[in-house]
Amino acid sequence: MISKIKEITGRLNSLNTRRSSLGLSEIMSQGATSKGKKPRLQPTSLMDGAVEYVGRANEKQEMLELLKINNSDGVCVISIVGMGGMGKTTLAQLVYNDASIKESFDHKAWVCVSDEFDAVNITKTILQSIISEPCAYNDLNLLQVKLKEKLSGKRFLLVLDDIWNESSTDWTILRAPFGAGTKIIVTTRLEKVSSNVDSVKAFYLDKLSHPDCLFIFAQHALKARNFDGHLQFKEVGENIVKKCNGLPLAAKAIGSLLRTVKDHSEWEKIYESEIWNLPEDPCGIIPALRLSYHYLPPHLKRCFAYCSIFPKDYEFEEEEIILLWRAEGFLQPKAKSQAKCLGNQYFQDLVSRSYFQISSKDKSRFVMHDLMSDLAQLVAGEMCCGLGGEKQQKFSHRSRHFAFVSDDRYHIVKKFEAFY
């Protein structure tokens, strides 16, 4: 086994050397897959006028009030933080397009930053939004000097949507042209980004209520506000929305998937399907969640995938998970005494990225959103298995991690028939 590992390592090193000598570089493709699919379109500042937006009225009002406060101390930054699909961009759009914003600001600009934090392109896009014409500059200094001139004495609102870059240095350089009178809204999945931009207020988006999710689902599935005119779909529709577990993207995506479906049995199939078995292109849930997983460092990917052994809604303590990771060899500190600190760091990194959330029942415990649990099962594949809930799980010869969590002693033996 050791000789095989050395052989594989040698081949990988050789390929890496050849890659460097040929001048090849890694290309990060946003949303594209190995199947050659087109990159996922990024949202813009414009909203669908045919859709009624619900669930974030309080956050919107508070943000508008903060934006209208005159600040003479420099740039004012507000961040919106939450897991993928929680409605961060939608909330930013609601604020950006509010009628009162036009009265409060001389200029405004919207930039979708996404995975490539290119200060030159971001600054150029902002400048072009203000001057309403193409800009030929590609030098960051020239762009920033020009932008600062244009914003002198002006009230300016900027939205930087979907930031992933965790470098405080890059942020310091980007914000250099902005001064008093500038308000910035940042949307991100990462708490560290919110901390780096020095937000005066961070809005951590929680799950929507069931009625709000039901409203979103009905709008996209039935083009209606509720199920009053479609009673045949009411029960199955409500069951589907329960599976969305307060995630607006899921309610919207699955609703859109069913818009042209009039057969009740097809609705039942969607309800009974696992989230990763839904078609990716028209649905969009899995690409949105996979993007979060894509940006995890390797050591966190392994720790997250391992958590697929737990049933949905299982509440756990930080110490419990750290001990399990340590037992599996996922924590490799330089000194044994550092294992607990390393485990704490890994755990808090996953909390800050919204993979783990504080339980609403017990603040000392944590839980995974249902769709995050689905994502963990998807990426873990057959390597991790758990017994729990109503479904009988099949085991593979490739399974390496297993958990059984149940209070029902009567059915324990039957559950373990999966091993036979």
Model pLDDT for residues 118-165, shown as the tens digit of each residue: 999 999 999 999 998 888 888 999 999 999 999 998 999 999 999 999
Report the C-alpha gap between 125 and 131 in whole angstroms: 10
pLDDT of residue 16: 79
Structure tokens at 30: 């946003």
Q: Is residue 35 pLDDT above 50, yes or no?
A: no
Q: Is residue 302 pLDDT above 50, yes or no?
A: yes
* Position with higher pLDDT, 331 vs 39: 331
Collapsed DSSP state (helix, strand, coil) of residue 107? strand
Alpha helices in 138-233 (DSSP H): 140-151, 168-174, 191-196, 210-222
Interacting residues of 1 by C-beta distance below 8 A, sequence separation 6+: none
For residue 142, the one-letter residue type is L
| Chain centroid offset of residue 316 CA | 22
Q: How confident is the model at residue 6 (pLDDT cuts 50, 70, 90)?
A: confident
Q: Is residue 266 pLDDT above 60, yes or no?
A: yes
State what percent of residues in the chain have pLDDT above 90.
39
Report the C-alpha gap between 386 and 389 in whole angstroms: 9
pLDDT in tens, 308-336: 888 878 899 999 999 999 988 888 877 66
Report the C-alpha gap between 14 and 10 in whole angstroms: 6
pLDDT in tens, 172-222: 999 999 988 899 999 999 999 999 999 999 999 988 999 999 999 999 999
Give, to the nearest 10 degrees, the angle between helix 298-306 and helix 370-380: 110
Please choose, from the candidates 141, 334, 357, the residue with its C-alpha nearest in 3D space to the C-alpha of residue 245: 357
- What is the pTM assigned to this prediction? 0.75
Q: Is residue 36 pLDDT above 60, yes or no?
A: no
Report the C-alpha gap between 264 and 10 in whole angstroms: 57
**Mean of per-residue pLDDT scores for the chain:** 83
Residue whose tokens read 């419990």: 320
pLDDT of residue 140: 94
Q: Is residue 233 pLDDT above 70, yes or no?
A: yes
Specify which of 79-83, 353-357, 373-377, 394-398 reaches the highest per-range mean pLDDT.
79-83
